[in-house]
């Protein structure tokens, strides 16, 4: 079962959503349980304060009250950091990047398409149900680096390798589908890492968990995202995997 | 014998210090060794020709530096290094003159002492000046156009030629004391004045260019607002048409026809009827003029290529802790690359968001791209590009600007045919 909240100031929209969810449950055998359908965002916050658990939220952006949908989402995130937030918007209001970054919104439903009968609600429900199945809270250890006395965190399991760039005291953190530049000293970074991480040379640290094979002839490590990394002669001995 | 070697070495090393210590970039050991070998060779072969040999030495230094770095600014600074050396030389000799020390004695008995002392002095002074220049350049990076850098180079070249001529004639005349002092004073003021004038000129040129850019941005923005106005007018026109059609059906009370009309003309064309005004409203939140100008220019550019360009600025952005010239340059490069890439895709989507994340300002540029994901090893290398040389150059110069800021986290990702550049700019305390 997944608790589902709907917050929209328009009565007929809410009914439409409730009906769509009910239909979806009936057809697909899922269990989205609408526990609250309201026009008042504060009611939602009051409710989840009592029992914080992972839930699904459909939130209208323009709630015609003292707070808007984005602020409601922000308050929800204080109690439910892994829940699924889906915004109901009109085309002109959509700010997908902003909402995704600020409150990790999962998706957006455009009122126009929802009311014009496109299967957008069903699509969202399908995605959420699939994600529910895969969800494992697990340990999320992070590497926390300081920038201007503030913190910047990177999930350890996301890191493939870390290299120093040689200039301006910056390091490059390489992840599965991207990389980032951040100012830090490699040695200091190494000290705050777990033992899954090892040096492969003076300027490079790798995450052993992502290594698939070691080519000892060319001293090359192969990672699971098809990248490679060379190993210095000095450290090569420890890589007879 | 030892004295001769010592003196030769001192002379070579002081010219070498002038050429190398004021460097604006890393030269690499190969370049340094080539320079040193050249100076030694030149000194040993044509050194006996007196100060004329200096001309040959310097010409070689300039050629070597240019071949290794391809950077006129580095060559210019090498010349400046030489000028500093000459100025120091004058200063020293005139000091000696002031204290009534016999020049004859200096150039004979105390020659080794003097040249060693002079070498160390040159080395220390140019070394300190070099650190200062590099600090200043990294703090206020100058991006000179090819034309200005050639002009700057010629100015310094002319200055050096006058110097050398003066020194050569001075040598012929046997360095009278009064002339030396006057020379030193003249040259020092000359250096000061030209540097000052140059800096002022460069600044005013930059200001002028910025003004020109603003004007052209304004013009483009005008185009954009005109287009918006036209969209609005056609929207109004459509709207009135639709309403009057609906009115007709209602008047006749023809429910069936009304339904058909609604389904066929309104539902089916919904996106065509309502104009996309997301852009303009959001842009109003950008309070930094330079970025606003840049964004409107890019909107016009993207519009010409049928790209769907969305700008998200949910809260007013008053300031960014980055210099306007740097942030506009970096964003310009990122957006240009995004436009170039997304143009070749079917979706032609381009999103830019300025998001206030409390601790930092996040600027995210994301576009649809052809590749599902890129090879991270290649992507990470400076200058890598899917689109050939020029494109890559843009990225690497953006990276080099960003490398001067240690309170920015820059990330690049590519996943599910979406390419994303993110800048997290931490606010200064």
Which of B406, B422, B427 has the highest number of chain A CBs within 10 A, making it the mutation to test binding with A? B406
A172 within 8 A of B377, measured Cβ to Cβ: no
Q: Is A147 on the interface with B (CB under 8 A)?
A: yes
Range 18-47 of A in CB contact (< 8 A) with B: none
Which of A62, A89, A115, A148 has the highest number of chain B CBs within 10 A, making it the mutation to test binding with B? A148
For Cα atoms B324, B325, B329, give the angle at the middle one, nearest 5 degrees. Answer: 115
Separation CA A178–CA A175 (nearest Å): 5
Instruction: Give Cβ neighbours of residue B397 (< 8 Å, ≥ 6 apart).
Output: B329, B333
Residues of chain A with Cβ-Cβ distance to B428 below 8 Å are 148
Highest mean pLDDT among A161-165, B9-13, B96-100: A161-165
Q: Is A191 on the interface with B (CB under 8 A)?
A: no
The minimum CA-CA distance between A182 and chain B, rounded to whole Å, is 5
pLDDT of residue B363: 95
Instruction: Give Cβ neighbours of residue B48 (< 8 Å, ≥ 6 apart).
Output: none
Q: What confidence tier does B177 reach under pLDDT thresholds 50, 70, 90?
A: low
Q: What confidence tier does A167 reach under pLDDT thresholds 50, 70, 90?
A: low
Q: Is A227 on the interface with B (CB under 8 A)?
A: yes
Q: State the CB neighbour count (10 A cutoff) for residue B95.
A: 13
**Hey, which residues does A144 pair with through a beta bridge?**
A153
The minimum CA-CA distance between B291 and chain A, rounded to whole Å, is 18
Q: Do B312 and A182 touch (CB under 8 A)?
A: no
Q: What confidence tier does B180 reach under pLDDT thresholds 50, 70, 90?
A: low
φ/ψ of B33, rounded to 5, equals -65, -45
The minimum CA-CA distance between B404 and chain A, rounded to whole Å, is 7
Among candidates B274, B362, B411 on the partner chain, residue whose Cβ is nearest the Cβ of A91:
B274
Residues of chain A with Cβ-Cβ distance to B399 below 8 Å are 181
pTM > 0.80: yes or no: no
Among candidates A101, A170, A183 on the partner chain, residue whose Cβ is nearest the Cβ of B362:
A101
Mean pLDDT within B290-306: 83
Q: Do B377 and A165 touch (CB under 8 A)?
A: no
Q: State the CB neighbour count (10 A cutoff) for residue B297.
A: 22
Dihedral class, residue A104 (left if φ above 0, else alpha if ψ from -120 to 50, else beta): left
pLDDT of residue B181: 67
Residues of chain A with Cβ-Cβ distance to B360 below 8 Å are 147, 150
Q: What is the mean pLDDT of chain A?
A: 85
Strand order in the sheet with A84-89: A32-38, A2-7, A55-60, A84-89, A107-110
Among candidates A94, A169, A179 on the partner chain, residue whose Cβ is nearest the Cβ of B406:
A169
The minimum CA-CA distance between A222 and chain B, rounded to whole Å, is 12
Among candidates B270, B353, B399 on the partner chain, residue whose Cβ is nearest the Cβ of A97:
B353
Q: What confidence tier does B1 reach under pLDDT thresholds 50, 70, 90?
A: confident
Q: State the CB neighbour count (10 A cutoff) for residue B395.
A: 20
Residues of chain B with Cβ-Cβ distance to A167 below 8 Å are 403
Q: Is A166 on the interface with B (CB under 8 A)?
A: no
* B377 pLDDT above the threshold of 70: no
Dihedral class, residue B315 (left if φ above 0, else alpha if ψ from -120 to 50, else beta): beta
Integer-rounded Cα Rg, in Å, for chain B is 32
Among candidates A97, A147, A178 on the partner chain, residue whose Cβ is nearest the Cβ of B409:
A147
Tell me if ipTM is over 0.95. no
**Hey, which residues does A213 pair with through a beta bridge?**
A222
Q: What proportion of chain A, given as a percentage, has pLDDT over 70?
A: 93
pLDDT of residue B160: 73
Rounded (10°) CA dihedral A24, A28, A29, A34: -20
Q: Is B277 on the interface with A (CB under 8 A)?
A: yes
User: Which chain B residue is nearest to residue A183, measuring alpha carbons?
Assistant: B406
Structure tokens that stand for B163 in this block: 């110097």
Separation CA B377–CA A174 (nearest Å): 9
């Amino acid at each position: 079962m997944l608790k589902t909240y709907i917050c929209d100031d328009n009565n007929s929209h809410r009914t439409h959503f409730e009906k769509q969810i009910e239909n979806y449950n009936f057809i697909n055998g899922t269990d989205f349980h609408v526990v609250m359908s309201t026009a008042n965002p504060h009611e939602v916050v009051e409710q989840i304060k009592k029992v914080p658990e992972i839930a699904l939220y459909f939130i209208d952006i323009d709630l015609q009250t003292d707070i808007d949908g984005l602020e409601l989402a922000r308050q929800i995130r204080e109690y439910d950091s892994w829940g699924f937030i889906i915004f109901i918007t009109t085309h002109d209001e959509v700010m997908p990047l902003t909402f995704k970054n600020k409150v990790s919104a999962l998706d957006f439903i455009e009122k126009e398409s929802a009311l014009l009968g496109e299967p957008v609600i069903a699509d969202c429900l399908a995605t959420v149900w699939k994600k529910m199945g895969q969800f494992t809270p697990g340990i999320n250890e992070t590497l926390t680096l300081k920038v201007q006395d503030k913190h910047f965190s990177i999930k350890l399991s996301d890191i493939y390798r870390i290299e120093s760039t040689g200039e301006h005291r910056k390091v490059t953190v390489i992840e599965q589908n991207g990389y980032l530049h951040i100012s830090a000293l490699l040695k200091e970074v190494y000290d705050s890492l777990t033992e899954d991480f090892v040096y492969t040379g003076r300027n490079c640290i790798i995450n052993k968990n992502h290594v698939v094979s070691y080519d000892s002839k060319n001293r090359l490590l192969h990672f699971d995202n098809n990248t490679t990394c060379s190993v210095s002669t000095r450290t090569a001995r420890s890589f007879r995997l | 014998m030892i004295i001769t070697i010592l003196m030769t070495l001192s002379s070579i090393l002081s010219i070498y210090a002038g050429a190398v210590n004021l460097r604006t970039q890393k030269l690499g050991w190969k370049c340094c060794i080539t320079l040193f070998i050249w100076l030694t060779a030149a000194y040993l072969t044509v050194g006996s020709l007196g100060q004329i040999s200096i001309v040959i030495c310097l010409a070689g230094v300039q050629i070597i530096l240019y071949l290794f770095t391809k950077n006129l600014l580095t060559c210019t600074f090498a010349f400046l290094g030489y000028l500093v050396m000459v100025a120091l030389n004058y200063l020293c000799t005139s000091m000696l003159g002031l204290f009534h020390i016999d020049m004859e004695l200096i150039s004979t008995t105390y020659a080794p002492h003097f040249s060693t002392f002079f070498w160390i002095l040159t080395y220390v002074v140019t070394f300190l000046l070099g650190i200062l220049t590099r600090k200043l350049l990294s703090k206020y990076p100058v991006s000179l156009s090819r034309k200005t850098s050639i002009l700057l180079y010629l100015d310094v070249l002319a200055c050096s030629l006058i110097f050398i001529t003066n020194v050569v004639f001075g040598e012929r005349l046997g360095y009278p004391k009064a002339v030396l002092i006057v020379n030193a004073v003249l040259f020092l003021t000359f250096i000061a004045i030209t540097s000052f004038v140059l800096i002022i000129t460069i600044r005013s040129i930059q200001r002028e260019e910025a003004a020109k850019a603003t004007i052209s941005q304004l013009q483009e923005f005008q185009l954009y607002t005109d287009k918006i106005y036209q969209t609005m007018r056609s929207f109004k026109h459509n709207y009135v048409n639709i309403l009057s059609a609906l009115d007709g059906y209602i008047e006749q009370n023809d429910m069936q026809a009304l339904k058909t009309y609604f389904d066929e003309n309104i539902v089916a064309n919904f996106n065509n009827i309502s104009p996309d005004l997301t852009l303009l409203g959001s842009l109003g939140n950008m309070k930094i003029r330079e970025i606003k100008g840049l964004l409107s220019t890019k909107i016009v550019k993207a519009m010409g290529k049928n790209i769907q360009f969305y700008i998200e600025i949910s809260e007013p952005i008053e300031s960014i802790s980055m210099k306007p010239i740097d942030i506009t340059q970096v964003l310009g490069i990122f957006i240009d690359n995004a436009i170039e890439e997304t143009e070749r895709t079917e979706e032609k989507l381009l999103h830019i968001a300025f998001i206030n994340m409390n601790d930092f300002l996040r600027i995210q540029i994301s576009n649809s791209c052809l590749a599902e994901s890129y090879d991270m090893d290649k992507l990470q290398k400076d200058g890598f590009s899917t689109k050939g040389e020029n494109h890559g150059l843009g990225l690497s110069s953006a990276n080099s600007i960003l490398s001067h800021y240690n309170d920015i986290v820059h990330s690049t990702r590519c996943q599910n045919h979406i390419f994303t550049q993110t800048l997290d700019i931490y606010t200064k305390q």
